[in-house]
Structure 1
Amino acid sequence: MTHDIVQSATALPASPVDDRKKRMKAYSTAMSIRMICLILVFFVPGYWKVVFGIGAVVLPYVAVVLANVGAGGSSRPVNPGISQQLAIEQQRQE
């Protein structure tokens, strides 16, 4: 009875296309929030102008940082263990 080490696809990083889509979505979300902050600066009274103004100034930096953070090999390999011998292989050996 031989035991083979099983290969696992769960240890692979995200595909470049999926990674790019995720980063584009994060960038678009942050920039949409920035646009809302920029518009609200003209319509809200008092200290809220300062709060939304700071948001409009800081969010582009945050959006770029989020967009540039890729998968970066953050996944850890999973060791699924040793596979059992298949029933058809057992029949062939008998």
Structure 2
Amino acid sequence: MPTIATAGFAAALISLSLVVVGAAAQVSAHHQARVAADVAAVAAAFAHARGEDACTVAGQVAGRNGASMSGCEVVGADVSVTTGIRGREVTSTAGPV
């Protein structure tokens, strides 16, 4: 009997560990996507202020940060950039510098 209880406890512990690891991976992906979007938006706004193509710069910066850029929009002096990492997408906007 103790062996069955121990096996059940071990299975429950392993299952809980897998859930925690999966949740931590999603949180990490969200934070990485947030940083990539923030940095890409700031770089794009700076490039836009210098007369360069903001979305090209944003795509390059996002790629260097391990993210894919799924959207870029320039409205006036503001630049909004959407990046994604492992299924987590985040949008960040930066304005005049």
Q: TM-score of the superposition, structure 1-length normalised?
A: 0.34
Of structures 1 and 2, the one scoring higher in RCO (CA 8 A, sep 6+) is 1
Q: TM-score of the superposition, structure 2-length normalised?
A: 0.34
Greater per-residue strand proportion: 2
Larger Rg belongs to: 1
